[in-house]
Structure 1
Amino acid sequence: MTEPEQTPEPQAPAEPPAKAVPRTAEVAAYLAARMCHDFISPASAIVSGLDLLEDPSAQDMREDAMSLIGASARKLADLLSFTRVAFGASATAETFDARELAKLAQGVFAHMRAELDWQVEPASLNKAAARAILNLAQMAGAALPTGGVAKIRAVEEGAFVVIAVEATGPRARLRAEVLDGLRGEAMGEGLHGHWVQAYYVHLFMTDAGGRIFADVGEEKVTFAASIPA
């Protein structure tokens, strides 16, 4: 009598191999691409305004062209000033006046739909804390595509600066690639420009001995960070 054939046990699907985190050179390239993306829009608008001024058939639009050039130049200058501290080395400064950081953040929010509520208690912040608070503020504004309020708070607790950022408003959201970057993970699907900013924050926070956390709720995105003072 032949034995019945045994049914093979079902096998669990294999886990896809984890994506490798990009190397330093790739991260630098993604950061450069991110900054170029931010700058190209106002720069192109300035060129468009200049083209209108030079067009003999469009002299009736001269006032509109000057308004476009002025608004775009201010946006470009605000973004450049912000980026120099938020992403750049700023090697000449190890500490930053909180009032100057507030101006940089306000300059960026002037071109966003969200409003900024700046409640930073320390008079000055070290380089890592300054970078963290600016990047988290910008990310909070980006999490409010239809408007809302981004509340930025920072206090000194012992040997640490504690940062709490709340983005509250309708349709508040945080892209999956931002969460991946903050956790120090490689990006899955999504846009490198959003991922690389979050991953950059993870890198310099880790290097400075800090920690960062993000949470997404109903109409609210929350960031929390602590970093040595």
Structure 2
Amino acid sequence: MRDDSAKLATLVGSRLCHDLVSPVGAISNGLELIALAGKPGTEEMNLIEASCASATARINFFRVAFGRASGEQMIGPREARKVLEQYCGAGRLSADWQIGDDKARPEVQLAFLAFLCCESALPQGGRVQISNGEQSWRISATGPRVNVEKAIWAQLSSDRLIEDLPPSRVHFACLADLATQRNRRMKASAGEAAVTIELT
């Protein structure tokens, strides 16, 4: 996928901007309301606080999922759980980080990208579990409704960017590319109520 690196970079940029513009816009709206009212009210302050928390959570998650990952950097279980829990917030999606020891950041990066892939298949929310064995990772998701976009999931087994990949699904291309670079075999499976990505 090296020939597509420039396009992949623009897709990542578009994804990050799209996901961050909403909470930042809400912060702006809250500040405008304060300016009109002359003083901050409870509703305006709650809006700003929630939007700031959402933007911060996404930035912290995206830093791990899309940022540069050094093999010398480690991420502990408490930090990984915190980043995932804050990313999910109080919404319909929840994360279960079942790993009790520190992991190299490049490995956690693959797990977070797989988490995003699983999230994409849960339009009504659900639960994503992340576990690992001695040489493998398993990221599985369950929910009231599983929607697998076959053309998008095919990106996981392709060494080229699929045509018209939307920025909202760029994590599929990133996961496929990084897994190949790091000599990881990947297997994805989907059923009516669950999807699973295995990295070995």
Name the TM-score, length of structure 1 as normaliser.
0.78
Separation in 2, partners of 1:139, 1:64: 34
- The alpha carbon displacement at 1:95 in A equals 2.5
Structure 1 gap segments, 5+ residues each: 1-19
Match of 2:81 in 1: 102
Matches within 5 A, 1:104-119: 104-110=83-89, 112-119=91-98
Q: From the CA coordinates, give the structure whose radius of gyration is larger.
A: 1
Matches within 5 A, 1:209-220: 209-220=183-194
Match of 1:63 in 2: 42
**8 Å CA contact retained: 1:136, 1:223:** yes
**8 Å CA contact retained: 1:117, 1:150:** yes
Larger RCO (CA within 8 A; separation ≥ 6):
2
SS at match of 2:186: strand
Separation in 2, partners of 1:93, 1:77: 25
Match of 1:77 in 2: 56
- The alpha carbon displacement at 1:105 in A equals 1.2
Moved over 4 A (4+): 90-93
- The alpha carbon displacement at 1:131 in A equals 0.4
**8 Å CA contact retained: 2:126, 2:144:** yes
More helix by share: 2
Give the AA of the match of 2:29.
S
**8 Å CA contact retained: 1:144, 1:173:** yes
Match of 2:122 in 1: 144
Q: CA RMSD in A?
A: 2.3
Separation in 1, partners of 2:152, 2:105: 22
Which stretch shows the higher mean deviation, 68-77 or 109-118? 109-118
**8 Å CA contact retained: 2:11, 2:166:** no
**8 Å CA contact retained: 1:177, 1:188:** no
